[in-house]
Amino acid sequence: MRSVISILDLSTEELDKLIATAKDIIANPVKYQDKCAHKKLATLFFEPSTRTRLSFEAAMMELGGQVLGFSQASSSSASKGESMADTAKIVSCYADIMAIRHPREGAPFVASRNATVPVINAGDGGHNHPTQTLADLLTISRELGRLDNLTIGLCGDLKYGRTVHSLIEAMSRYPGVKFVLIAPEELKLPSYIRYNVLEKLGIPYEEISSLEEAMPQLDVLYMTRIQQERFEDLSVYERLKDSYVLNPEKMALAKEKMCVLHPLPRVNEISVKVDDDPRAAYFRQALNAKYMRMALILMLLEEAERNPQREELDETDLVYDLHCNNPKCISAVEQELPQVFRLTDKEAGIHRCIYCEQKA
């Protein structure tokens, strides 16, 4: 039995297989309509969501399965102080698979170490959002016909944008990919992605502050929302919130064959005037999300049936005498969670928290 907490939990072959399954579901929906009959998906959403939760639920329903869950932390026992570990053990009694969204980084990972059914990370704080990436990959593949040899511009909140982090991790595995990072100084990509992924794998990237300047070279433009809820100082949010707005004038600078993605919700970073441009793929991307979640649920349930045993935690290079200083980490609020770090860079002696990946 396996969980998907990071996009790196899936190999490139598995990503390609999921895309192929999703395309087959689109072509032959009837073939899949009873595949998950008598199975239940629990959606545990401790943070607001429209697309992610509803597309997970629609995905399970279209596979003939059923859904249960909650859409806000206040209606769960977490509001009474129940730990993530206990919640995961309890939900395992009632559902065959669960999708968790949580404001705390590492919360779905903790759930996966305690659940006896597969856990899917549906977004944890500013950390990861692997199933959004699945939707992004299917969209790029359907819009442009390939996942390699692409110049991908990522614009907006690259610091807290969990969808951006997972997308970079996934796209870095395809040959010929180059990234253009377009962000204000305060919202630049976190160092663990920059060093662990881009630098380590030698992926070309450049940092540009002007969207206009970046436009002509892009095959994909991935816009993101500046996320008010992630800022500790709201005056910083106010200063940055209108940093980038995509409008028809900027679209006029782009290639004829390119696509604009956005995980949504948008606030004002894409003018509604762009919506009718054939290159605007964000609403199709939201539909693709449902098909990829169907493919993922199918894959994880089939695997759990073949092998119900939870995967062992890789104990290599774990250390227990460091402390995580990330205020958004699940370990900052759950006092009984052990502090666990992994030596991720032997040469530089860098340890990272196993929950949130921040440096010790």
Catalytic machinery residues: 51-52, 80, 101, 129
Per the CB < 8 A criterion, the answer to whether 248 and 212 are in contact is no
The verdict on 71 binding ligand NCD (CB under 6 A) reads no
Q: Does 166 bind ligand NCD (CB under 6 A)?
A: no
Q: Select from 17, 51, 230, 255 the one that contacts ligand NCD (CB under 6 A).
A: 51
Contacting residue, 40, 53, 129, 351, with ligand NCD by CB under 6 A: 129
Q: Does 123 bind ligand NCD (CB under 6 A)?
A: yes
> Toward ligand NCD, which CB reaches closer, 52 or 288?
52
Residue 200: Cβ within 10 Å count: 12
| DSSP-assigned states of every residue in 128-172 | B-HHHHHHHHHHHHHHHS-SSS-EEEEES-TTT-HHHHHHHHHHT
> Residue 278, preceding bond cis, omega within 30 degrees?
no
Helix/strand/coil percentages in the chain, nearest 5: 40, 20, 40
Smallest gap from residue 240 Cβ to ligand NCD (A)? 14
Q: Which of 263, 281, 310, 357 binds ligand NCD (CB under 6 A)?
A: 263
Residue 126 touches ligand NCD, criterion: CB under 6 A: no
190 contributes a contact to ligand NCD by CB under 6 A: no
* 322 close to 360: Cβ distance less than 8 angstroms: yes
The token duo for 310 is: 């939870």
Q: What is the DSSP letter of 345?
A: E
For residues 50 and 108, what is the distance between their CA atoms, to the nearest angstrom?
Answer: 19
**Residue from 40, 102, 104, 225 in contact with ligand NCD (CB under 6 A):** 225
142 contributes a contact to ligand NCD by CB under 6 A:
no
Q: Which two tokens stand for residue 248?
A: 């028809």
Site string for ligand NCD, 9-48 (x = CB under 6 A): ----------------------------------------
DSSP assignment of 181-238:
EE--GGGPPPHHHIIIIIIHHT--EEEES-HHHHGGG-SEEEE----GGG-SSHHHHH
Three-state SS at 28: coil
Could you give the CA distance from residue 325 to residue 327 in angstroms, rounded to a whole number?
6
Of positions 43, 83, 87, 132, contacts ligand NCD by CB under 6 A = 132
Taking CB under 6 A as the rule, does residue 227 contact ligand NCD?
yes
* Half-sphere exposure of residue 311: CA atoms within 13 angstroms, side-chain side: 16
* Shortest Cβ 69–ligand NCD spacing (Å): 16
What one-letter code names the amino acid at 230? R
Q: Verify binding: residue 52, ligand NCD, rule CB under 6 A.
A: yes
Q: Compute the least distance from the CB of residue 309 to ligand NCD, in Å.
A: 31
Specify the residue, 189 or 304, whose C-beta has the smaller distance to ligand NCD. Answer: 189
Least distance to ligand NCD from the beta carbon of 104, Å? 14
Residue 344 makes contact with ligand NCD by CB under 6 A: no
Is 264 a binding residue for ligand NCD by CB under 6 A? The answer is yes
Count, residues near ligand NCD per rule CB under 6 A: 11
55 binds ligand NCD (CB under 6 A): no
Side-chain-facing half-sphere of 125: CA atoms under 13 Å: 20
Residue 331 contacts ligand NCD per CB under 6 A: no
Give the interface with ligand NCD as residue ranges (CB under 6 A).
51-52, 123, 129, 132, 162-163, 225, 227, 263-264
